[in-house]
């Protein structure tokens, strides 16, 4: 009886955090015109038969007198039918992101079922991923272009994993990974992991079928890679030119790039500190420094904001798949440490971690198949509490 009461109280607590997350979205949902999001603008340009935008917007690349969205095109392709249906202004990207979050939640739940994670543990992991990582903030801030990409990429990456664990159709796995790549490029580094997982999960199939699945994966991913190369060539005359070098920066970011370029070892210590060490930093900006609450725009470190992810280190699975999962994760982290910014602007998160957190959450689920102890549940509640503080409490005090 006591166990049932304790479990009911736990679910009630998680439900409260979900309610707070939904309440925190009321403002963004009411103020999200399509013109504020470069993907909606790019979709509108596609509908007009153009690759460039009619004027300069924040974070557009300026090349030979034209204005381009320098980010990969899949999120824009995804919302093109919506823009065609309701128009640019009425395309609410926060609502789109919320709907994608619900769909991604269903996919993640299926993955947890495929991994034989107990139902009670799966509920905790759902809350941990969507309410205890930068996912909450990504939906909240998806009025703008950066965070929309993270929402789309996370969903596509989890679809690739789900398909690999499920029906194992190699072409779909490759296309899903390609869609993640066409949202956030570094997710392509999980190709070896998915290939190994597809091969391992197909061990009961004839060898010929295993090779067909593997080659189909490469075809699907290759089609998306080829599309991106063409897209770059069509805009900038160089298949390997993404357009990031043509961004018009200002302030501290321009100072960095003018001195050291887009990538430099000079950025490593700053980025590493914010990835692993930076705490939940609040400043008080009124003259008496008693009110005017403001959170650090460089965000909170992964270990402070989402410490439960450390459980992923205890994952047990195929050694090759685990090794490639961690190699892919490290491969994503390394270039971001060399990048001129750590994801700025972000609240209680390091948004670039969204490129690998979906995979790390799967590893966390593998480690939690025997249940979550009180310390790990406490770590999840800590993460949910920090997000609630950042997105609900402090905005009311600011």
For 206-227, the pLDDT digits (tens) are 999 999 999 999 999 999 999 9
Q: What's the pLDDT score for residue 270?
A: 97
Domain locations in the chain as residue ranges: 2-397
For 53-111, the pLDDT digits (tens) are 999 999 999 999 999 999 999 999 999 999 999 999 999 999 999 999 999 999 999 99
* Confidence grade of residue 1 (pLDDT, cut at 50, 70, 90): low
Rounded Cα gap, residues 193 and 356, in angstroms? 12
3-class SS at 301? coil
Rounded Cα gap, residues 258 and 69, in angstroms? 21
For 354-398, the pLDDT digits (tens) are 999 999 999 999 999 999 999 999 999 999 999 999 999 999 887
CB 394 within 8 A of CB 293: yes
For 228-247, the pLDDT digits (tens) are 999 999 999 999 999 999 99
N-terminal to C-terminal alpha carbon distance within the chain = 44
Rounded Cα gap, residues 269 and 347, in angstroms? 20
3-class SS at 284? strand
State the angle between helix axes of 145-165 and 74-86 in degrees (0 to 180), rounded to the nearest 10: 110
Return left, alpha or beta for 348; rule: phi > 0 is left, psi -120 to 50 is alpha, else beta. left
Reduced DSSP (H G I as helix, E B as strand, rest coil) percent helix, strand, coil of the chain, to 5: 70, 5, 25
- CA 84 vs. chain centroid, Å, equals 26
């Amino acid at each position: 009886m006591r166990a049932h009461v304790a479990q009911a109280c736990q679910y009630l607590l998680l439900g409260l955090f979900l309610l707070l997350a939904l309440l925190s979205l009321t403002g963004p949902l009411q103020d999200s015109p399509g013109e504020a999001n470069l993907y909606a603008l790019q979709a509108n340009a596609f509908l007009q038969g153009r690759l460039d935008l009619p004027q300069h917007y924040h974070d557009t690349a300026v090349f030979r007198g034209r204005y381009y969205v320098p980010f990969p095109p899949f999120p824009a392709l995804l919302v093109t039918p919506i823009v065609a249906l309701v128009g640019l202004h009425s395309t609410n990207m926060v609502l789109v992101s919320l709907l994608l979050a619900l769909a991604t939640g269903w996919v993640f739940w299926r993955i947890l079922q495929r991994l034989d994670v107990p139902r009670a543990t799966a509920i905790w992991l759902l809350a941990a991923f969507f309410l205890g990582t930068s996912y909450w903030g990504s939906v909240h801030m998806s009025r703008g272009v950066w965070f929309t990409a993270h929402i789309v990429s996370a969903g596509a990456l989890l679809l690739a994993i789900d398909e690999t664990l499920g029906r194992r159709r190699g072409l779909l796995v490759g296309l899903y990974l390609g869609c993640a790549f066409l949202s956030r490029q570094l997710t392509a580094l999980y190709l070896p992991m998915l290939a190994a997982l597809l091969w391992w999960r197909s061990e009961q199939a004839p060898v010929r079928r295993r090779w067909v699945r593997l080659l189909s994966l490469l075809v699907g991913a290759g089609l998306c890679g080829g599309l991106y190369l063409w897209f770059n060539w069509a805009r900038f005359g160089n298949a390997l030119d993404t357009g990031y070098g043509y961004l018009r920066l200002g302030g501290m970011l321009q100072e960095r790039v003018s001195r050291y370029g887009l990538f430099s070892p000079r950025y490593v210590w700053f980025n590493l500190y914010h990835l692993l060490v930076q705490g939940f930093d609040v400043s008080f900006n009124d003259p008496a420094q008693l009110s005017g609450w403001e959170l650090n725009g460089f965000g909170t470190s992964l270990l402070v904001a989402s410490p439960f992810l450390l459980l992923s280190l205890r994952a047990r699975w195929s050694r090759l798949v685990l090794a490639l999962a961690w190699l892919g994760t490290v491969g994503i982290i390394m270039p971001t440490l060399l990048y001129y910014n750590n994801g700025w602007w972000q609240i209680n998160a390091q948004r670039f971690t969204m490129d690998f957190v979906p995979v790390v959450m799967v590893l966390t689920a593998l480690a939690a198949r025997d249940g979550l102890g009180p310390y790990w549940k406490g770590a999840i509640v800590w993460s949910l509490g920090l997000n609630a503080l950042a997105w609900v409490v402090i905005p009311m005090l600011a």
